[in-house]
Structure 1
Amino acid sequence: MKTKKSFFRAINFKQILFFIFLLVSVSTSFAQKKIEIKGVVIDEFENPIPYAAVGIPSKQIGTSTNDDGVFSFQIAPENLADILEISTIGFKTYKIKFQEYLDKKIEKIILIEDVVTLAAITLEKIDDIVKKALKKVKKNTLSDKHQLNMVYRRSSVENNQTRFMVEHYLNVLDYGPSDNRFDEIGLAEVRKSADYRFAFKKQPVHAIHIMGQINPLRQRIYESDYNWVRDGDTSYDGEDVIIVKGTKKDQKVNKENNWIKFYVGMDTYSIYKIDVSRHANEFSNLKAFYIYKKDSNGKLVLSYHNREAKFRTPVSAQKQKLLKLKSRNVQSSYRHEAIVLSIETDKKKFDVKNTIYDRKDIGDYEAKYNAIFWQNIALPPETKFYKKSVKELESIYGVSLEEQFKLVNKE
Structure 2
Amino acid sequence: MLFKKDFKKKSIIVLTILSCYFGYSQNAIEVYGIVQDKSEYPVPYANISFTNKYKGTMTNEDGAFLLEIFKSELNDSLEVSCMGYEPTKVKISDYLNQPDKIIRLKESIVELDEIKILSPIEYVTSALKNLKNTTVSKTHQLTLLYRRASSEEGKARFFVEHYMKILDRGPSVKDITSIEVLEARKSADYRFFKKKEFRHSVVPMTIRNPIRQHLPMKKIIWKKIGDTSYENEDVVIIQGIPPNGAHKFMSNSAPFKIYIGVDTFSIYRIENKSNNSLYVYKKNKDGKLYLAYHSRQWTSQEKISAELQGRLGKGVNKIQATYKHEVFVLDIETDRKRMRVRHNELAPTTDMADLKVPYKADFWANFVAPPDTNYFKGIKAELESNFGVPLETQFLHSNK
Q: TM-score, normalised by structure 1?
A: 0.86
Q: What do residues 281-305 of structure 1 show as CA deviations (whole Å, max 9, x unaligned)?
A: xxxxx21111111111111111111
Is 1:249 the equivalent of 2:243? yes
* 1:9-408 paired onto structure 2 within 5 Å: 29-30=22-23, 33-56=27-50, 59-102=53-96, 107-118=101-112, 120=114, 123-250=117-244, 258-278=254-274, 286-353=275-342, 355-358=344-347, 359-408=349-398
CA distance in 1, matches of 2:317, 2:73: 58
Q: What do residues 50-87 of structure 1 show as CA deviations (whole Å, max 9, x unaligned)?
A: 11111237543211112221211112344345431111
Q: Verify the 8 A CA contact 1:257 1:277 in the aligned structure 2.
A: no
The offset of 1:325, in angstroms, is 3.1
Q: Which amino acid aligns with 1:211?
A: M
The offset of 1:106, in angstroms, is 6.9
Structure 2: gaps of 5 or more residues? 1-10
Alpha-carbon spacing, 1:203–1:23, altered in 2? closer, same or farther (3 Å): closer
CA distance in 1, matches of 2:174, 2:20: 47
Which is worse superposed, 184-193 or 343-352?
A: 343-352
SS at match of 1:224: coil
Q: Verify the 8 A CA contact 2:242 2:252 in the aligned structure 1.
A: no
Alpha-carbon spacing, 1:402–1:277, altered in 2? closer, same or farther (3 Å): same
SS at match of 2:376: helix
Q: Which amino acid aligns with 1:402?
A: E
CA distance in 1, matches of 2:40, 2:50: 24
The offset of 1:134, in angstroms, is 1.3
Q: Verify the 8 A CA contact 2:243 2:253 in the aligned structure 1.
A: no
SS at match of 2:39: coil
Q: Which amino acid aligns with 1:372?
A: D
Alpha-carbon spacing, 1:327–1:56, altered in 2? closer, same or farther (3 Å): same
SS at match of 2:234: strand
Structure 1: gaps of 5 or more residues? 1-17, 279-285
CA distance in 2, matches of 1:123, 1:299: 24
CA distance in 1, matches of 2:317, 2:98: 60
Give the greater-gyration-radius structure (CA).
1
Q: Verify the 8 A CA contact 1:58 1:295 in the aligned structure 2.
A: no
SS at match of 2:170: coil
The offset of 1:245, in angstroms, is 0.6
The offset of 1:391, in angstroms, is 2.8
SS at match of 2:218: helix
Q: Verify the 8 A CA contact 2:244 2:252 in the aligned structure 1.
A: no
Which is worse superposed, 86-95 or 155-164?
A: 155-164
Q: Verify the 8 A CA contact 1:137 1:217 in the aligned structure 2.
A: no
The offset of 1:104, in angstroms, is 5.7
Alpha-carbon spacing, 1:173–1:328, altered in 2? closer, same or farther (3 Å): same
CA distance in 1, matches of 2:116, 2:49: 35
Size of the aligned set, in residue pairs, is 383
Q: Verify the 8 A CA contact 1:60 1:344 in the aligned structure 2.
A: no
The offset of 1:101, in angstroms, is 3.5
The offset of 1:190, in angstroms, is 0.9
Which is worse superposed, 398-407 or 363-372?
A: 398-407
Which is worse superposed, 261-270 or 94-103?
A: 94-103
The offset of 1:243, in angstroms, is 0.7
Alpha-carbon spacing, 1:103–1:322, altered in 2? closer, same or farther (3 Å): closer
Q: What do residues 80-107 of structure 1 show as CA deviations (whole Å, max 9, x unaligned)?
A: 4543111110011112343443456671
Alpha-carbon spacing, 1:207–1:37, altered in 2? closer, same or farther (3 Å): same
The offset of 1:324, in angstroms, is 2.6
SS at match of 2:276: strand
The offset of 1:161, in angstroms, is 1.6
CA distance in 2, matches of 1:395, 1:94: 41
CA distance in 1, matches of 2:284, 2:82: 14
Please provide the CA RMSD for this pair.
2.7
Q: Which amino acid aligns with 1:396?
A: N
Q: What do residues 176-196 of structure 1 show as CA deviations (whole Å, max 9, x unaligned)?
A: 111111111101011011111
Alpha-carbon spacing, 1:360–1:22, altered in 2? closer, same or farther (3 Å): closer
CA distance in 2, matches of 1:50, 1:206: 26
Which is worse superposed, 55-64 or 342-351?
A: 55-64
Q: Verify the 8 A CA contact 1:145 1:175 in the aligned structure 2.
A: yes
Alpha-carbon spacing, 1:354–1:77, altered in 2? closer, same or farther (3 Å): farther
The offset of 1:230, in angstroms, is 1.3
